[in-house]
Chain A
Amino acid sequence: KNQVEQSPQSLIILEGKNCTLQCNYTVSPFSNLRWYKQDTGRGPVSLTIMTFSENTKSNGRYTATLDADTKQSSLHITASQLSDSASYICVVSPGDYKLSFGAGTTVTVRA
């Protein structure tokens, strides 16, 4: 069964600090991996998308990495801001509509 596991389930960080979220997957075949940010009461919004040949992609203070050999990805948030408080969701695509979603990591940034 295709699975996407995210860790930690939740974390609290102080404003200005960095953090890294992890995503391990067993989805096969693999086409691309996406990270989404979901604010409370809103729909997920895409941060990055990486295909098999890409191992790093940045979007402002968000940097995603991908190791397709070990089937691991991470999302690094640099110099966190209060607005980074959200759930971050890892999504793996086999190349069609059958996306596999992780349960998400809830990040809380404290002043």
Chain B
Amino acid sequence: DAGITQSPRHKVTETGTPVTLRCHQTENHRYMYWYRQDPGHGLRLIHYSYGVKDTDKGEVSDGYSVSRSKTEDFLLTLESATSSQTSVYFCAIGSDSNQPQHFGDGTRLSIL
């Protein structure tokens, strides 16, 4: 298995609170991605990173921010969580657009 660790694996929080999810890789891959997965939808890209301090928005970036201060860590922050952000969040890594992205096991986030 590719060395990707997501933390926490589960979190329940209240509307309006800030939340930070962490993705840690041991593969030294350049590219890191955050997706969300919701019932009836395919995975949707939130943000991605193509290097330390280099990030860009995906298709569903509103309400989310990211940071990457080290190659191995990619953080996803919900500044003020809303119920619509209840989802399962997956981190992925990759080094080449033609190679399969490797996914972490996800963080299940519930916002009440």
Binding site for B on A (CB under 8 A): 4, 31-32, 34, 36, 41-46, 49, 51, 89, 91, 93, 95-104
Contact = CB atoms under 8 A, between A and B. Distances in A.
Contact of B100 (A49, A51, A103): A49
B41 A31 contact: no
Interface string B22-44: 00000000010100000011111
A98 B106 contact: no
A101 B33 contact: no
B61 to A, nearest CB: 13
Given A49-B99, A96-B97, A97-B48, 4 more contacts: A4-B42, A42-B106, A44-B43, A104-B42
Given A42-B105, A42-B106, A43-B90, A98 B100 contact: no
B103 A89 contact: no
Contacts of A44: 43, 90, 103
Interface residues of B, number: 23
Given A101-B42, A103-B41, A34 B100 contact: yes
A55 to B, nearest CB: 17
A43 B106 contact: yes
B103 A100 contact: no
A95 B97 contact: yes
Nearest to A34: B100
Contacts of A49: 98-100
Contacts of A42: 105-106
Nearest to B104: A43
Given A46-B100, A96-B97, A103 B40 contact: yes
Given A42-B105, A43-B105, A104-B42, A31 B48 contact: no
26 contacts: A32-B98, A34-B100, A36-B100, A43-B104, A43-B105, A43-B106, A46-B100, A46-B101, A49-B98, A49-B100, A89-B42, A89-B43, A93-B97, A96-B97, A97-B33, A97-B45, A97-B94, A97-B97, A99-B43, A100-B42, A101-B42, A101-B43, A102-B42, A103-B40, A103-B41, A104-B42
